[in-house]
Amino acid sequence: MIDFLRGLVVHLESEYIVMDVRDTGYRVFTPNPYAFAKKEEPVIIYIHHHVREDAILLFGFETREEQTLFRKLLEVSGIGPRVALGILSGGRPDAVIAAIQQENIAFLTKLPGIGKKTAQRMILDLKDKLIGAGLDGGLLTAAGVALDLSSSGSTGQGAGTAWQEAREALAALGYTAAELDRAWNGLQTSVTAEETVDSLMKRALQQLFKG
């Protein structure tokens, strides 16, 4: 089984990236392909190698924590690879983990493909397993951001605060202030109070990638 790949990202689509690893192109489905838009150096992607009767698929993540959480999500009845990938594209790992541990159904049901019954199964099946897998405390305050997952389902951040965090992360990828201002101008009319940092980054990167 493939555990990780190291190579250049040579192509982007809305759902996957293509990595050149020693002259072989690997299609890797990832939560946010556009995060790799300006990666000019080789990157390491942690892989979940999924085999089924009609296909062999690679799902890739920037961190071990994402890889581990993805695999834990697959243990929940009703959650397949595509839904698990959607969960990670719709919410930061630390926020998803905190919501599971705090039994925050309102937050979980805002994630792509997750209804109330699936959210309840996630809590029942994973609440105790995440701590044993090392998916607890450290992720709950990732990047120094304290999470407030109350019954409202909000992360405690307004759209403006979430955008500031997303903007800082995008600036770290090399985007200029002018580029980020242009992306925000195209996004702000459709941003909701419940918008996550990850979803804002993904949408902004889509606009930036299109130019």
pLDDT in tens, 49-90: 999 888 899 999 999 999 999 999 999 998 999 999 999 988
Say if residue 117 is in the same domain as residue 164: no
Reduce the DSSP state of residue 79 to 3 states and report it. coil
The count of structural domains within the chain is 3
- Domain boundary among the residues 61, 91, 106 is at 61
Range of the domain at 49: 4-61
- Share of residues in the chain with pLDDT > 70 (%): 83
Q: Please indicate, yes or no, whether residues 86 and 137 belong to a single structural domain of this protein.
A: yes
Q: What is the CATH number of the domain that holds 96?
A: 1.10.150.20
Q: Clarify whether residues 121 and 170 are in a common domain.
A: no
Task: Reply yes or no on whether the pLDDT at 161 is more than 90.
Answer: no
Q: How many residues does the structure list for the chain? A: 211
Taking the C-alpha atoms of residue 17 and residue 38, their distance in angstroms, rounded to an integer, is 12
pLDDT in tens, 176-211: 888 888 888 888 777 777 777 777 888 888 777 665
Residue 149 lies in a domain: no
Report which residue type is found at 48.
H
Question: Closest by alpha carbon to 2, among 46, 53, 61?
Answer: 46
